[in-house]
Structure 1
Amino acid sequence: MTDLKVLYVEDEALLGRIVKESLESRGLSIDWFVDRKAASKALDALDRYDIAVLDVQLPGDDGFAIGRHIREQRQDLPILYLTARVAAKDALEGFAAGGNDYVRKPFSMEELLVRMQNLVDMNRSKSQKNGLAPAKPREAKAASGSEEVYRFSSFLFDYRSLKLLRYVGDEVAEEFLLTHREAELLRFFLRSRGQAVIERKRILLDLWQDDGFFNSRTLDVYVRKLRSMLMKDTAVKILTLRGVGYRFVVEKGKD
């Protein structure tokens, strides 16, 4: 993970210096700013960056406001939020503000690097596949047994491009661009369909390698986001089995 250019906004001087020096020691190039005003020139030249890492709680405009500005200027730049907040509504606000992922403070440098690497890799993968025409559901039926493309009910999900398409007849009615985590979770559900119970613990350990409280709350956020995308097709349901896990249902004759 070298030769990456990172836009980093963090007002805590000690933490900012530690992160900057640690990432630079691994070969990354870091432009560190303490607030939006200091970063103003960088925010007008976003093409130079591979990823933006933004603290949420900043003086003046917070990280979410900076994220919204970035998303208005450049749709493809991955945004990773750093936050001490734990409420689900704060995570949802971050996603609504253009975020692709977030890391809770305090964090390890290893976790930060892994999250950054995942976002950059997925962004590069999407860029390489831009311009490919989406397959219609009936054309994708034979491919749904692969590990990358899935057809279920009125949906076509391409894990590689992070796209979820909903069809009405042969026409695309809606197109969703998923985050890396959303795509991983949807693929997990699709691979587990037909099971009576998909345990929360198994999802957390498989996707996060940690079933702690914070990741459990994060899972709730992602499940809600997937439900909001799938809700227009009543044949597809993510059922919550309280205290146990989930069941992913695609009604017979709709798969």
Structure 2
Amino acid sequence: MAEKIRILLAEDEPALAQIVKESLETRNFVVFLAADGNEALRRYQEKTPEVLVLDVMMPKKDGFTLAKEIRQLDKNIPIIFLTAKSQTVDVLEGFSVGGNDYLKKPFSMEELIVRIQNLLNRNKLQQESEILKIGQYIFDFPKQTLSYNNEQNEFLTHREAHLLFHLCKNKNQILDRSIILKKLWGDDDFFSARSMDVFISKLRKKLSKDKNIQIVNVRGYGYKIII
């Protein structure tokens, strides 16, 4: 039997929350309820849901603020906003804080369920595409692991994993030094650049068992991984 998908539903209207909960549970989901933003954050930390369905207008902490905080912890979890608002500026704000979809009240349960399934399928495909073969290595970006010829996994730090991911997505091409520094370090100053050099050295060492892999410094431009 397939494992049930865990959903966190943050909705401050008790009647609506109960209807949505019961409808989702008939479709083989497990639903955790929260009536305000603070409770939703606690439930997220306790229950590790796989999908978030967040009302925008909630007491104590609104859905946009909650999503922004959760995105600091988890970049990949699908987030759907429920709202009575439909102005373009509100929709844009929802996406800017990390939302993946936006459903206007009143909505049909069928539509909500279809959107949840679409986001789950998209997330699964994205994660599968982020398991990369680098020469004789397998790099699992979501899990931040590197294995050589099916040996025991070596764990990478968050920054090592993201740097290697960007190198691999641009394999045999120059990865612009300034762009990646701003993306991963937040600045392209001298000290950030020196830190990046250290991480490049660490990655070279971790990939050293396959002599066909090179990470080369293209002076004045950036780095390039050659496979």
Q: Same fold (TM over 0.5)?
A: yes
Q: Is the 8 A contact 2:56 2:81 kept in 1?
A: yes
Match of residue 37 from structure 1: 38
**What aligned pairs does 1:129-144 form with structure 2 within 5 A after superposition?**
129-132=129-132
Whole-Å separation in 2 of the counterparts to 1:81 and 1:93: 11
**Residue identity in the other structure for 2:69:** H
Displacement of 1:41:
2.4
Question: Are 1:170 and 2:212 an aligned pair?
Answer: no
Whole-Å separation in 1 of the counterparts to 2:51 and 2:175: 30
**What aligned pairs does 1:211-226 form with structure 2 within 5 A after superposition?**
none
TM-superposition CA deviations, 1:105-137 (whole Å, max 9, x none): 100000000110000111111111213379xxx
Q: Per the alignment, in what secondary structure is the counterpart of residue 19 of structure 2?
A: helix
Match of residue 68 from structure 1: 68
Displacement of 1:53:
0.4
Match of residue 17 from structure 2: 16
Question: Are 1:107 and 2:110 an aligned pair?
Answer: no
TM-score by length of 1: 0.51
Match of residue 27 from structure 2: 26
**What aligned pairs does 1:199-218 form with structure 2 within 5 A after superposition?**
none
Q: Per the alignment, in what secondary structure is the counterpart of residue 38 of structure 1?
A: helix
Change in 2 beyond 3 A, CA 1:92/1:33? same
Displacement of 1:26:
1.3
**Residue identity in the other structure for 1:170:** Q
Whole-Å separation in 2 of the counterparts to 1:39 and 1:63: 9
**Aligned residue pairs: how many?**
144
Q: Give the 4+ runs in structure 1 shifted more than 4 A.
A: 172-175
Q: Is the 8 A contact 2:34 2:43 kept in 1?
A: no
Whole-Å separation in 2 of the counterparts to 1:114 and 1:128: 21
Q: Is the 8 A contact 1:8 1:31 kept in 2?
A: yes
TM-score by length of 2: 0.57
RMSD (Å) for aligned C-alpha atoms: 2.7
TM-superposition CA deviations, 1:23-65 (whole Å, max 9, x none): 011111000110122224223246x211000000111210001
**Residue identity in the other structure for 1:30:** V
Match of residue 138 from structure 1: none
Structure 1, unmatched stretches of 5+, are 135-165, 176-255
Displacement of 1:21:
0.5
**What aligned pairs does 1:187-198 form with structure 2 within 5 A after superposition?**
none
Structure 2, unmatched stretches of 5+, are 135-168, 181-227
Q: Per the alignment, in what secondary structure is the counterpart of residue 99 of structure 1?
A: coil
Displacement of 1:2:
6.8
Q: Which of structures 1 and 2 has the bigger CA Rg?
A: 2
Displacement of 1:83:
1.1
